[in-house]
């Protein structure tokens, strides 16, 4: 796992969501997380199925934020587990060994250790910078990336107000993936924005 990790915004307009996601995929995005905190069940299912077909056409994984039942229903590539969701161990037990299980670890290295023990595929740290989308304490130090990489073999994802400029030092510290929402989805040229992030990884 390496490169740009895009997280969808809370857009009800499915066609707009697909159009911008495809631009990002053309720009080299490596992984898509479907996250829509306010969607109803019908819209969430519709958008997931459409995004999954799109991701399949680009041979990129689609993971679902929180909704493990939806992941199973459409056979998506995995889930991302937050701090208030089910545990990584529970998700891994339900999904088996083949699916991706990502874990939000905020600024807490012990959460990452626990996630690794319980079978996580990657750990995500943040926020590092203020976000236009998500509200959280901006208290995470870049040192956590270095520490995690030295202790565990898991890929590290960094999130929180990511721009190409702000992400660069975290990639230099060893971050494997940079997660972005607004820096791609609200960009004037999402494909070029994605390419700018991908260049951080020497691709």
Q: How confident is the model at residue 135 (pLDDT cuts 50, 70, 90)?
A: low
- Catalytic site residue 134? yes
- Tokens representing 90 are 């529970």
Secondary structure letter of residue 3 according to DSSP: E
**Which pLDDT value is given to residue 132?**
66
Supply the pLDDT for residue 108: 94
Would residue 117 show up in a list of annotated catalytic residues for this protein?
no
Mean pLDDT of the chain: 94
Tens of pLDDT, residue by residue over 156-184, are 999 988 999 999 999 999 999 999 999 99
Confidence class of residue 77 from pLDDT cuts 50, 70 and 90? Answer: very high
Residue at token pair 């820096």: 183
Quick one: average pLDDT of 49-63?
98
Question: Alpha-carbon distance 21 to 25, whole Å?
Answer: 6
Measured in degrees and rounded to the nearest 5, phi and psi for residue 35 equal -135, 115
**What pLDDT score was predicted for residue 127?**
85
* Residues 95-131 pLDDT 10s: 999 999 999 999 999 999 999 999 999 999 998 887 7
Active-site choice (35, 60, 92, 195) = 35
Question: Domain map of the chain by residue range?
Answer: 3-199
**What is the greatest pairwise CA distance in the chain?**
43
Is 99 designated active site?
Answer: no
User: Which member of 2, 44, 113, 134 is catalytic?
Assistant: 134
How far is residue 172's CA from residue 176's CA, in Å, rounded to a whole number?
A: 10
DSSP calls for 33-100: EE--TT--HHHHHHHHHHHHHHHHHTT--EEEES-HHHHHHHT-SEEEE-TTS--HHHHHHHH-SSSE
pTM here is 0.95
Contact at 8 Å (CB) between 138 and 128? yes
Question: Among the options 60, 92, 104, 131, which is catalytic?
Answer: 104
pLDDT, tens only, 12-43: 999 999 999 999 999 999 999 999 999 999 99
Level-2 CATH architecture, domain 3-199? Alpha-Beta Barrel (3.20)
Q: What's phi and psi for 127, nearest 5 deg?
A: -95, 145
């Amino acid at each position: 796992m390496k490169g740009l990790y895009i997280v969808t915004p809370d857009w009800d307009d499915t066609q707009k969501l697909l159009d911008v996601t495809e631009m990002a995929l053309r720009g080299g995005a490596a992984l898509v997380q479907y996250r829509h905190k306010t969607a109803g069940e019908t819209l969430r299912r519709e958008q997931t199925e459409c995004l999954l077909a799109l991701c399949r056409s680009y041979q990129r994984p689609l993971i679902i934020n929180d909704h493990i039942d939806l992941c199973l229903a459409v056979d998506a590539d995995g889930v991302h587990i937050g701090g208030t969701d089910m545990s990584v161990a529970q998700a891994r037990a339900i999904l088996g060994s083949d699916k991706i299980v990502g874990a939000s670890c905020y600024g807490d290295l012990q959460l990452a250790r626990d996630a690794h023990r319980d079978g996580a595929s990657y750990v995500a740290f943040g926020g590092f910078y203020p976000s236009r989308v998500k509200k959280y304490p901006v208290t995470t130090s870049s040192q956590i990336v270095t520490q995690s990489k030295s202790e565990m073999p898991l890929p590290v994802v960094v999130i929180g107000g990511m721009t190409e400029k702000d992400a660069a030092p975290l990639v230099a510290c060893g971050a494997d993936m940079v997660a972005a929402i607004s820096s791609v989805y609200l960009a004037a040229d999402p494909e070029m924005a994605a390419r700018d992030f991908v260049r951080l990884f020497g691709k």
